[in-house]
Chains A and B, each alone.
Chain A
């Protein structure tokens, strides 16, 4: 969960500024120094992105740098209509589909790995380090290797085969690590109690484990989705002839010199926030549902 929150520091920022506002006596001077530092950090983090969002709303005279020239949605229209800007719609579709597939596989495998690692088994540390190893491997090299392997085997590289595999090498270890953190808060005596009350293995997973772990599983899903959606290095050599969205943006930076590039940045950010919002919303909904049941 902490990882989810780290993705959204803007929710934390207002709280901090609010805390400063009623400057009642008693706060040490270090508080103001650190608060200023934090403010600068937030500006440094989001400033460049906001520049892009703002510049994407220029009119037809717009350029790549400030000052703003007019206000319009021209470049958003341009993005989806002009052929010269590239296959934005197609690559966006592919990226979303790929991210969904990656998410499903990541959640499934991470959950099963979480189940598997509840008890120690022969070679468990070896398996664990093998998994971490793929996190440490440089993405570009890994992608290059995957591309070469597909070539050597005479297979066509494409976004739903080689790129999928290369992305999973990145999302699975992350998902499993998050799952471990989630599982560490699952008390195994609940499973024992379920068994004692006559639940089968499957009933115990379906009626106890999955509902208890649901918020954690949503967090794993969010991880899988966002890691896949903006994955570049591993996809570069493995996506084949059809680009995913990050690859498309990258190629656009090489030949598109209009604010439609910025419009694309704005659109993808909105998509990211929708996904994050939906995930957090579903976690809140799960908790609310439990709360309302409880009030009854």
Chain B
């Protein structure tokens, strides 16, 4: 019976290469059929190992990998009906684009006319018709990537695994190929699992973002959830765009608490999703960089802005539609405000100025 479901479940998956340390350490995850899932984390966090285990190029030391309801551990990639796109594309250098794409059909014993016809249809899909007779070395990076994609997709896999597919491309092409990947995923309607270390890439593409650290999943969720509601300090700092402050709880007042900080009155933080805190707890909070407003000392804070921290401007970077202002607000951590360009230049600051960094009470997020 042909099973086309591409939903994946990882249950207690562990991998150790030396028998001592786990590169992947007890990972549990469900990926829906037809989802675009991005694994993100620093190098060595185990994301590529997970990908290779799903692909069948590596066996887990413990745990189960279930694709479409079937445990696939020990099966070859073809039996799993997965296909992998390698980081450097791994196109066969001696075969033309057409032959590269037809390779999987060739090893299955399909006749030459059949397989070349199928390859040509796929070549059209990735818009490479005029390059069908070229060798990989005669193609640009973006074209090579499309060949790799077509070669992997021709067997109609139910899961496509992409190992840092955009890392070999330059910046402009990366953005362009990113859209192409998304388009192909929607066209093929299959599950894509994409490994990257670029935050922007992950949140731009994925339905499901999985943030990893040292073999463990730190947070898995929709892109907006992971970016706007990081679970802990690690995720907040890794995904970026957040200022992380820490302090001790001074006072608990109903749905919010006060964090002792450099501010004279402390910082008021709503409890939000966090169940409870008690006085004396050490708590990390996150404030989005684009939620921080800068006000000159002595001026009124905008309505609803209760917290304000006196700071000195350390550096200013013009970024186009916003200006990145680095502050010495907290002694040991980076504190940055992303000020909209127009707001900034209405009353520009210079390095060394003293400002009040302020934000709406509701935009502070307590972290686990």
**A positions within 8 Å CB-CB of B:** 187, 189-190, 192-200, 203, 207-208, 211-212, 290, 293-296
Closest to B79 in A: A198
**B positions within 8 Å CB-CB of A:** 55-57, 76-78, 83-84, 86, 88, 90-94, 96, 103-104, 106-108, 132-135, 138, 151-152, 155
Partner of B92, one of A193, A195, A196, A203: A193
Closest to A197 in B: B104
Partner of B94, one of A187, A197, A198, A212: A212
CB contacts (< 8 Å) of B94 on chain A: these are 211-212, 290
CB contacts (< 8 Å) of A192 on chain B: these are 57, 86, 90
Known contacts A192-B90, A290-B94, A294-B138; is-contact A200 B84 (Cβ 8 Å): no
Closest to A292 in B: B133
CB contacts (< 8 Å) of B106 on chain A: these are 207
CB contacts (< 8 Å) of A208 on chain B: these are 92
From DSSP, what is the main secondary structure of chain B's interface residues? loop
A187 engages B88 (CB within 8 Å): yes
CB contacts (< 8 Å) of B134 on chain A: these are 294, 296
- B32 CB to closest chain A CB (Å) equals 24
CB contacts (< 8 Å) of A193 on chain B: these are 84, 86, 90-92
CB contacts (< 8 Å) of A195 on chain B: these are 57, 76-77
Closest to B77 in A: A196
CB contacts (< 8 Å) of B104 on chain A: these are 197-198
B90 engages A189 (CB within 8 Å): yes
Known contacts A192-B90, A193-B92, A290-B94; is-contact A207 B133 (Cβ 8 Å): no
B77 engages A293 (CB within 8 Å): no
* CA–CA, A199 and B133, complex, Å: 22
- A23 CB to closest chain B CB (Å) equals 38
Count: A-B pairs, CB below 8 Å: 72
A198 engages B78 (CB within 8 Å): yes
* CA–CA, A187 and B93, complex, Å: 10
Partner of A207, one of B76, B88, B103, B151: B103
CB contacts (< 8 Å) of B92 on chain A: these are 190, 193-194, 208, 212
CB contacts (< 8 Å) of B132 on chain A: these are 296
24 A-B residue pairs with Cβ-Cβ distance under 8 Å, sorted by A, are A190-B92, A192-B57, A192-B90, A193-B84, A193-B86, A193-B90, A193-B91, A193-B92, A195-B76, A195-B77, A196-B56, A196-B77, A196-B84, A197-B78, A197-B155, A198-B76, A198-B77, A198-B107, A200-B107, A211-B94, A290-B135, A293-B133, A294-B134, A296-B132
Besides the contacts A194-B103, A196-B84, what 17 more A-B pairs have beta carbons closer than 8 Å? A189-B90, A190-B92, A193-B90, A193-B91, A196-B55, A196-B57, A196-B77, A197-B104, A197-B107, A197-B152, A198-B77, A199-B103, A208-B92, A211-B94, A212-B94, A294-B134, A296-B134
A294 engages B151 (CB within 8 Å): no
A293 engages B86 (CB within 8 Å): no
Known contacts A192-B57, A197-B83, A200-B107; is-contact A187 B90 (Cβ 8 Å): yes
A197 engages B151 (CB within 8 Å): yes
B107 engages A296 (CB within 8 Å): no
Closest to B135 in A: A294
- A19 CB to closest chain B CB (Å) equals 29
B96 engages A296 (CB within 8 Å): yes
CB contacts (< 8 Å) of B138 on chain A: these are 294
- B92 CB to closest chain A CB (Å) equals 6
A189 engages B96 (CB within 8 Å): no
- B231 CB to closest chain A CB (Å) equals 34
Partner of A189, one of B55, B76, B83, B86: B86
A190 engages B107 (CB within 8 Å): no
CB contacts (< 8 Å) of A203 on chain B: these are 107
- A258 CB to closest chain B CB (Å) equals 52
CB contacts (< 8 Å) of B103 on chain A: these are 194, 197, 199, 207
Closest to A186 in B: B93
Those 9 A-B pairs whose CB atoms lie nearest each other, nearest first: A296-B133, A193-B90, A197-B104, A198-B78, A189-B90, A199-B107, A294-B135, A211-B94, A196-B77
- B156 CB to closest chain A CB (Å) equals 12
Closest to B132 in A: A296
Known contacts A189-B86, A212-B94; is-contact A198 B155 (Cβ 8 Å): yes
* CA–CA, A84 and B78, complex, Å: 69
* CA–CA, A195 and B58, complex, Å: 12
* CA–CA, A196 and B83, complex, Å: 6
* CA–CA, A296 and B108, complex, Å: 26
B90 engages A190 (CB within 8 Å): yes
* CA–CA, A110 and B77, complex, Å: 31
- B47 CB to closest chain A CB (Å) equals 18
CB contacts (< 8 Å) of A189 on chain B: these are 86, 88, 90
Closest to A287 in B: B94
Partner of B107, one of A187, A207, A211: A207
A294 engages B77 (CB within 8 Å): no
CB contacts (< 8 Å) of A196 on chain B: these are 55-57, 77, 83-84, 152
Interface centre among B86, B93, B107, B134 (most CB of A within 10 A): B107
* CA–CA, A293 and B131, complex, Å: 12
* CA–CA, A200 and B92, complex, Å: 16
A294 engages B90 (CB within 8 Å): no
* CA–CA, A203 and B105, complex, Å: 12
A212 engages B90 (CB within 8 Å): no
- A211 CB to closest chain B CB (Å) equals 5
* CA–CA, A190 and B155, complex, Å: 18
